[in-house]
Amino acid sequence: MTDLIRWEPMGMTSLRQAMDHLFEDSFVRPSGLFSALRAESPAVDMFQTDKDVVVKASLPGMKADDVDISVTGDVLTIKGEHREEQEIKEENYFRKEMRFGSFARSLEIPVPVKVDKAEATFENGVLTLTLPKTEAVQPKAIKVKAAKPAEPKSGVEKK
């Protein structure tokens, strides 16, 4: 059985790619004024250690008081609001790309954690949330014991 290969004349592929990029840039990644008006979700890293699940969120320009953290079931939600610092008339701007407005980011926590023992710190625009794992999911070492050697048989057999 032979495979069918779509024939495209020279130049058509690049035109199709150009159109794809045009639509992708216009609808998927808005630019200019519209991207500045909406606050984006913060970038988040989540990893685990033997005892904890650690979440780090990048929140540049924010203050600790502007961030709310909640856990419902196995879903962690980080909410906040970027506020504009100054009032400058719109017509005086050359570019306006700094983000502002409220945001919320929800993440599923992959293992059971003790929410009441969680700790959150905020330093240099990075929120670090440490969630201790429950005892059931923490790794436990099991010591391997050597079996007792069998007693040697005596050379005399009883009949």
Which of 107, 105, 119 is closest to 52 using CA atoms? 119
Q: Is the pLDDT of residue 130 over 90?
A: yes
Residue 112 placed within a domain = yes
pTM: 0.60
pLDDT band with cut points at 50, 70 and 90 for residue 133:
very high
Mean pLDDT value of segment 123-135: 93
Residue 3 placed within a domain = no
Report how far residue 127's alpha carbon sits from residue 64's, in angstroms, rounded to the nearest whole number: 8
Residue 105 placed within a domain = yes
Cβ neighbours of residue 120 under 8 Å, at least 6 residues apart?
Answer: 69, 127, 128, 129, 130
Q: According to the model, what pLDDT value does residue 114 have?
A: 93
If one counts the domains in the chain, the total is 1
Mean pLDDT value of segment 6-22: 62
- Whole-number percent of the chain with pLDDT over 90: 36
Residue 34 placed within a domain = yes
Please, is 131 exposed, middle or buried when counting C-beta atoms within 10 Å of its C-beta (0-12, 13-18, 19+)?
A: buried
Residue 63 placed within a domain = yes
Q: According to the model, what pLDDT value does residue 87 have?
A: 64
Residue 148 placed within a domain = no
Express each pLDDT in 34-85 by its tens digit.
Answer: 443 345 688 999 999 999 999 999 998 888 888 999 999 999 999 998 876 6
Mean pLDDT value of segment 105-133: 94
Residue 147 placed within a domain = no
Residue 156 placed within a domain = no
CATH number of the domain encompassing residue 59: 2.60.40.790
Mean pLDDT value of segment 5-20: 61
Q: What is the residue range of 66's domain?
A: 12-87+95-137
